Amino acid sequence: MFGSMLEEFQRMNKRQFFYQVLSFGMIVSSALMIWKGLMVVTGSESPIVVVLSGSMEPAFHRGDLLFLTNPTDEPVRVGEIVVFKIEGRDIPIVHRVLKVHEKENGTTKFLTKGDNNRVDDRGLYAPGQLWLTPRDVVGRAKGFLPYVGMVTIMMNEYPKLKYAVLACLGLYVLIHRE
């Protein structure tokens, strides 16, 4: 199997190989431009996220793909679903706003909780942090596609699956090449 792939690469002349590399580069750069464009339009550093746990069931299930916006001019409200990052953690959390405290000086603090959790999120926040602020918010959920993100979860939980998918894509490209 891999021997035949190697033979295919050896039979390619330099122009065909350069064309393949250039095509791959254009696909990658197009995806990056679309991502950056979504970031600008939505105002969110991550306009699309995957729900990784069941803490928001029944509203969202593990593997749902969320579309986010982050309007800085609109205040955070109770009941709104926000995606936030905690200092020292890489993975953002998707939970609902439980309480909001707005002070007279214009500052806002809020508390979150997963719909399927028994207690609020203070145990998830950074040590000593009791409330979130608007700068902790990555975005606010505006829509979702159910279970579309399961592909991402499977690839992260089963790394060998990534290689199998890449190998299949490589074979497909070699077989269906002009």
Q: Could you tell me how many residues make up the chain?
A: 178
Whether 136 is a known active-site residue: answer no
Return the axis-axis angle of helices 159-175 and 2-11, rounded to nearest 10°: 50
pLDDT average, residue stretch 118-140: 94
Q: Which of 29, 30, 53, 55 is catalytic?
A: 55
Give yes or no for a contact between 97 and 76, defined as CB atoms under 8 angstroms apart.
yes
Average pLDDT of the chain, as a whole number: 89
Whether 95 is a known active-site residue: answer yes
Domain architecture of the chain: domains with CATH? 1-42 (no CATH), 48-146 (2.10.109.10), 149-177 (no CATH)
Please write the tens of the pLDDT for every residue from 148-167: 999 889 888 888 888 888 88
CA distance 135 to 129: 14
Whether 53 is a known active-site residue: answer no
pLDDT average, residue stretch 35-43: 92
Q: What are phi and psi of 37, to 5 degrees?
A: -60, -40
Confidence (pTM): 0.77
Q: Supply the pLDDT for residue 14.
A: 77
107 token code pair? 């500052």
